[in-house]
Amino acid sequence: MIDFVQKLKSGDEVITAWSGIPDFMVCETLLIAGYDTVTIDMQHGSHTLESTIACVTSAKAFGKRLVSRIPVGDWGLASRLLDVGAAAIIAPMINTVEDAQAFAGAMKYPPIGARSWGPTRVMALEEEQDGNTFLKRANSNTLSIAMIETPQALDNLDDILGVPGIDGIFVGPSDLSVTFSGGAGVAPFNDQTMPVIEDIAKRVTAAGKIPCIFINAHREIAIARQLGYKLMAYGIDSNFVADGARAFLSEAQS
Ligand code: 3PY
Ligand code: MG
């Protein structure tokens, strides 16, 4: 089975499910359904470090690794999540080159960054006993993905792309719509955000980094794919439960 990080590095597309329900059995169900990976959301989802450890550990049984999204500015947690086995970290609201440097610094070992040594759990999950072998591949075996969600971030995009250790850029279309409209409304993929979403895809691809995006509606998949986005988040666990519940209840009542 090809790991999702390798797929993205080879230029292939990956669809990730999105998880806010802090239970490894939900995450496991999404992997069994066929997703290459699941994003464990610690920014807006209800996941904790403990629930993330359980998800990452159960994913190993299916030969899969996971993505985690950290809360804004929580660089220490980014390192910690790598240490317990997350393969990619999405950092929200990266607005400046300093944000990007702090994030990459926590994610990568020297000479790229300043990640502190202590990968006991991830080495166990990878069945690796030699620290030097692990160290040699660690920086290229994990992905640092910076979220662009504000006009300030867009202004600084080229500098953010130039930061060593930033592997990809993740567009948050909902926050983009809120920030670009000055709080007037939330409407991902609207007339104001579409040119921004296009521009980001072009600049990220030209810089040789991975363009990633959150998809809220089915029709947006084809648009994002055509623009060259490679990691697309589509499908939220709580929506699956709610949609299924509504469908079954309505069947029972008809
Ligand atoms: C956004 O669209 O703002 C996101 O953060 C997606 O999760
Ligand atoms: Mg957001």
How many Å lie between the centroid of ligand 2 and the Cα of residue 172?
5
Quote the CA–CA distance of 66 and 59 in Å, as a whole number: 7
Residues 6+ apart with CB under 8 A from 14: 4, 7, 8, 36, 37, 230, 231, 232
Shortest CA distance to 90 belongs to which of 67, 108, 106? Answer: 67
Residues 6+ apart with CB under 8 A from 30: 17, 19, 38, 235, 237
- Annotated catalytic residue 218: no
Quote the CA–CA distance of 181 and 12 in Å, as a whole number: 33
Relative to the alpha carbon of 213, which ligand is closest? 1
Strand 67-69 with 37-41, pairing: parallel
pLDDT at position 134 is: 98
**Ligand 1 pocket check for 175: Cβ under 6 Å:** yes
**Ligand 1 pocket check for 174: Cβ under 6 Å:** yes
Nearest ligand 1 atom to the CA of 44 is: 7
The CB density around residue 74, as the number of other CB atoms within 10 Å, is: 18
The protein residue with its alpha carbon nearest to ligand 1, atom 5, reads 172
pLDDT at position 213 is: 98
Residues 6+ apart with CB under 8 A from 96: 152, 153, 156, 160
Average pLDDT, consecutive stretches of 10 residues, N- to C-terminus, the chain (254 residues):
93 98 98 98 98 98 97 98 98 98 98 98 98 98 98 98 98 98 96 97 98 98 98 98 98 96
Which residue segment(s) compose the domain that 221 sits in? 4-253
The protein residue with its alpha carbon nearest to ligand 1, atom 1, reads 172
Q: Which of 25, 44, 72, 152 is catalytic?
A: 44
Report the number of distinct structural domains present in the chain.
1
Quote the CA–CA distance of 81 and 53 in Å, as a whole number: 8
The protein residue with its alpha carbon nearest to ligand 1, atom 6, reads 172
CATH number at residue 248: 3.20.20.60
φ, ψ for residue 134, nearest 5 deg: -60, -45
Q: What is the largest CA-CA distance in the chain?
A: 64
How many Å lie between the centroid of ligand 1 and the Cα of residue 211?
14
pTM beyond 0.85: yes
Q: How far is CA 200 from the centre of its chain?
A: 16
Quote the CA–CA distance of 45 and 42 in Å, as a whole number: 5
**Ligand 1 pocket check for 173: Cβ under 6 Å:** yes
Shortest CA distance to 36 belongs to which of 69, 8, 9, 11? Answer: 8
**Ligand 1 pocket check for 172: Cβ under 6 Å:** yes
Quote the CA–CA distance of 17 and 28 in Å, as a whole number: 11
**Ligand 1 pocket check for 216: Cβ under 6 Å:** no
Identity of residue 68: S
Shortest CA distance to 14 belongs to which of 153, 170, 164, 158? Answer: 170
Shortest CA distance to 118 belongs to which of 103, 106, 104, 102? Answer: 106
